[in-house]
Structure 1
């Protein structure tokens, strides 16, 4: 493992989270902006999940992907 890339990895993961937290907390309407941020995240998560299900279902129907036996729990 190359440890010289570790600082870059930490910066890439923590940097955006810290910056968004600072922006959300220091804004004049912090609650409103935070709720908008959470709503946007939820919408993106839901659309991504729906898209993934559609792609998996279409690949499964075409025989290109096996999602297992429908009788399995």
Structure 2
């Protein structure tokens, strides 16, 4: 888990989104978010419970971007 960067996750999510599968991208982001929350909760990854995970911050930004994509 520690080897996965938010940039890698974002890159893969954008590839899926560019292929026209927006709903799949939303589901993918939700699944990734759940996985990282579990990893942080079980102390397998993350900066700790008190600080937000960079991946969760990136996923939040991606969700906002999907709701209001640039024209």
The TM-score range, normalised by the shorter chain, is: 0.3 to 0.5
Structure having the higher helix fraction is 1
Q: Taking structure 2 as the reference length, what is the TM-score of the superposition?
A: 0.39
Q: Taking structure 1 as the reference length, what is the TM-score of the superposition?
A: 0.39
